Structure 1
Amino acid sequence: MGLQRIYLVAGELSGDILGAGLMRELNARHPDIEFRGIGGPRMEAQGLNSRFPLETLSVMGLVEVVKHLPELIGVRRTLRQEAQAWQPDIMIGIDAPDFNIGLEKQLREAGIKTAHYVSPSVWAWRQGRVKKIAKAVDGMLTLLPFEADFYRRHQVPVAFVGHPLADEMPLDNDRQNTRQVLGLDEQRPVLAILPGSRGNEIRFLGPTFLSAAEQLCLRHDTLQVVIPAASAQRREEINSLLGAYPALNERVVLLDGQAREAMVASDAVLLASGTAALEAMLCHRAMVVAYKMAPLTHWLAKRLVKTSWVSLPNLIAQQTIVPELIQDAASPEAIAEQLSALLVDEPARHALEARFATMHAALQRNASRRAADAIEAVALGQPLAAEDDGINGY
């Protein structure tokens, strides 16, 4: 018998995208299926009856969460009561772990199968949360292989479904054509700089990154520097910093957005840790990851974070393949030295590009289809298949 009722709760735009892909697969397999819960326009287009707007759960920061806590508790109570009355085949929380894992636990205790799609960073910090997750879900769906390894070690049923970014981005890209589109010289080397999308990242990283780029331009007299600005405000902030680095005059091209194009056009990328590092890997480009934060934040992070690496390429490979320069180590001189080595050593750079292409192919798994497979297994009480992730060791 096919699935008939699915309860889904997404809390932000990325969850709406993932949820819509999953629903599309389930709709194709189960034509009479019904969906209820919380989602955005993409999930609603796939047939979701959304009880609250997607933005209801999009609360960031401690003060904001405390301010909205009574409302969030009321929303969770409403969803719990409705799901229990409706009796879905399975309830799926998509990201938003602080809200969803509590709801999943309540519904599982009430006898409803539950799954969580997109692992919280429990492998990196507050690892004790895995005990709560184990009580809350019948299955965890992860985007990355090392996350699945963590859950297997803690005996939580898990499926590594692949990353939608890897599905979306092509295995082949054209560096020369992209340079032409961006108005760059096709014969001169290109450095892409991505200092982050938040104002505090520009404040902490901007001067360091630009100083490193200035040193590189003095060493490599044909180097072109391209900097994609995440917004008009970020562009203004970057522009105001550039005046202090005269060696960058005539060398820098500022872009509005187009971060992916900047990376594809480049020979090397300098970026802050985060999703941008994964995207650079999926563009198959050599990179240096550097990050600075407020001293107190760094002091706390060193004591809380339990991983050997901060960048996703290294975490996926489970070894250091990308230089990571954090806090005091992220000096302009150290960054320039690492980038200069990448620019000079063409064989090593091309070998890294080939390795990234192999890792990309291993992550390109048709995430929505595999997620639907996993949801069907959990809903029907079947074990989640333990597969070779096909990525570690490359």
Structure 2
Amino acid sequence: MSVAERTDGPLIALVAGEASGDNLGAALIAAIRERVPNARFVGVPGPRMREAGCEALAASDELALMGLAEILRHLPRLIGLRRRLVRELLARRPAVFVGIDAPEFNLGLAKRLKAGGLPTVQYVSPQVWAWRQGRVRGIAESCDRILCLLPFEPAFYAEHGVTARFVGHPLADQFPLEADRAGARAALGLSRDEEVIALLPGSRMGEVSRLAAPFVGAAQRIAAQRPGVTFVVPLTSASTRACFEAALGEASAVSGDVASRAGALGLSIKLLDGQSRLALAAADVVLTASGTATLETLLSQRPMVVAYQLAPLTAFLLRRLGLVKVRHFSQPNLLVGREIVPEFFQEAATPEALGAAVLQWLEQPQRLGELREAFGLVHRDLRRGGAALAAEAVLELVDLTRSQ
């Protein structure tokens, strides 16, 4: 008897670590419910997963950490949370555990749950092919299968004897093949003909605290060369907004509102509460932190400049131990297979370098045709109905569990 034919719904455990994981988890819950309407969900959900009906054992923002240094700083609390989840989930015996991104936390949790007899899935591969490749042995011990969002990942896992499946990327299904620039500008109160730069300094406090100042400095340099340019800055939370506002204040030495601070810097700037997709569709060029935002920018077919700054200790360890194994770190360059957008790591991400790279996109519009063609091909390749394929892979394990 398949799980869909049983009257008692399976319990599925999910743990998501940040906003992008919450989006994936909510889409996965919806896709599972289409196939198994009485399925039940428990774990560490974000707001969207909670709305979809996932019972919360803890808040997902407890896991929204970035880099080795931040994880080490919060290690005692994370260990305590993981122990509590192991106890609760082994007591409740879900049919399957799905860790959604957040590999630093989820893989350790999955290893303990698998040792306790639960099937385990990691949804979103850690970038083990890029750095610290030795982690693949631990992944094999922790997970029954990996659900990959990027097409080149299963081949890497196959070389190491790990079961992995490319399910496409749900974001590719959510974004139209052609972004509605005019509609986005109208929604944000921007005119059709003004020059618009989107600044996306990250979704986590660690990212924003490191990138806000260089992004503000880059904006100053761009505005000095392009009078009349408007900057839109989508921010994910009250705390990240306050962090960016503080960077404006420090740069301007003005303590007034955002308009006063920006005006003192010669900037026309709009801070947005969320609305990142509108900002991307409206933009001529995007200056963004590395991460999911780079993929969203690709799917919006917008030229971009990518910056990545880790905590100094994390960056030092990566370099000192020779742990980085790829030439590029941004998803667009990895997916296209060459450097199609400029990327700046750590101390290279200066206001001068970032501003100059954005200006190059504005001053060389002939480069856009090649970029849009390459991004369009990637978009179509990633459009696989990702949430549905992920749901099928998870439910295969549920069927195996409940038939035993």
Q: Which bracket does the TM-score occupy, shorter chain normalised?
A: 0.7 to 0.9
Cα-to-partner distance string for 1:195-226 (whole Å, 9 max, x where unaligned): 33455545543443333333333333453333
Amino acid at match of 1:35: R
| Count of aligned positions | 375
Structure 2 CA distance for partners of 1:68 and 1:154, relative to 1, 3 Å: closer
Identify which of 332, 335, 355 aligns with 1:316.
335
| Counterpart check, 1:8 vs 2:13 | yes
Q: Which has the higher contact order (CA 8 A, sep 6+)?
A: 2
Cα-to-partner distance string for 1:349-368 (whole Å, 9 max, x where unaligned): 23313322332232222222
| Counterpart check, 1:243 vs 2:260 | no
Query: What are the residue-to-residue correspondences of 1:269-284 with 2, within 5 Å?
Result: 269-284=286-301
- Preserved contact between residue 216 and residue 248 of structure 2 (Cα < 8 Å): no
- Preserved contact between residue 214 and residue 247 of structure 1 (Cα < 8 Å): no
- Preserved contact between residue 242 and residue 248 of structure 1 (Cα < 8 Å): no
Structure 2 CA distance for partners of 1:64 and 1:347, relative to 1, 3 Å: same
Where 2:306 maps in the other structure, the secondary structure is strand
- Preserved contact between residue 212 and residue 244 of structure 2 (Cα < 8 Å): no
- Preserved contact between residue 208 and residue 244 of structure 2 (Cα < 8 Å): no
CA distance in 2 between partners of 1:13 and 1:284 (Å) = 24
- Preserved contact between residue 217 and residue 247 of structure 1 (Cα < 8 Å): no
Structure 2 CA distance for partners of 1:23 and 1:66, relative to 1, 3 Å: same
Where 1:304 maps in the other structure, the secondary structure is coil
After TM superposition, give the deviation of residue 238 of structure 1 in Å: 3.9
Identify which of 348, 355, 359 aligns with 2:378.
359
Structure 2 CA distance for partners of 1:215 and 1:123, relative to 1, 3 Å: same
Query: What are the residue-to-residue correspondences of 1:363-378 with 2, within 5 Å?
Result: 363-378=382-397
- Preserved contact between residue 273 and residue 311 of structure 1 (Cα < 8 Å): yes
| Counterpart check, 1:72 vs 2:82 | yes
Query: 1:196 corresponds to which residue?
Result: 202
Cα-to-partner distance string for 1:237-292 (whole Å, 9 max, x where unaligned): 24314527999856422222333322221111112222221221122100111234
Structure 2 CA distance for partners of 1:368 and 1:295, relative to 1, 3 Å: closer
CA distance in 2 between partners of 1:101 and 1:28 (Å) = 28
| Counterpart check, 1:210 vs 2:221 | no
After TM superposition, give the deviation of residue 45 of structure 1 in Å: 6.7
Where 2:211 maps in the other structure, the secondary structure is helix
Query: 1:26 corresponds to which residue?
Result: 32
CA distance in 2 between partners of 1:108 and 1:72 (Å) = 14
Instruction: Report the TM-score, using the length of structure 1 for normalisation.
Output: 0.80
Provide structure 1 residue ranges, at least 5 long, that are not aligned to the other structure. Answer: 382-394
CA distance in 1 between partners of 2:48 and 2:290 (Å) = 29
CA RMSD, 1 decimal: 3.4
Where 2:216 maps in the other structure, the secondary structure is helix
Provide structure 2 residue ranges, at least 5 long, that are not aligned to the other structure. Answer: 66-70, 254-260
After TM superposition, give the deviation of residue 76 of structure 1 in Å: 0.5
Query: What are the residue-to-residue correspondences of 1:86-101 with 2, within 5 Å?
Result: 88=95, 90-101=96-107
CA distance in 2 between partners of 1:91 and 1:291 (Å) = 31
After TM superposition, give the deviation of residue 35 of structure 1 in Å: 3.5
Structure 2 CA distance for partners of 1:24 and 1:290, relative to 1, 3 Å: closer
After TM superposition, give the deviation of residue 112 of structure 1 in Å: 4.7
Amino acid at match of 2:350: S
- Preserved contact between residue 202 and residue 238 of structure 1 (Cα < 8 Å): no
After TM superposition, give the deviation of residue 70 of structure 1 in Å: 4.2
| Counterpart check, 1:62 vs 2:79 | no
Query: 1:256 corresponds to which residue?
Result: 272
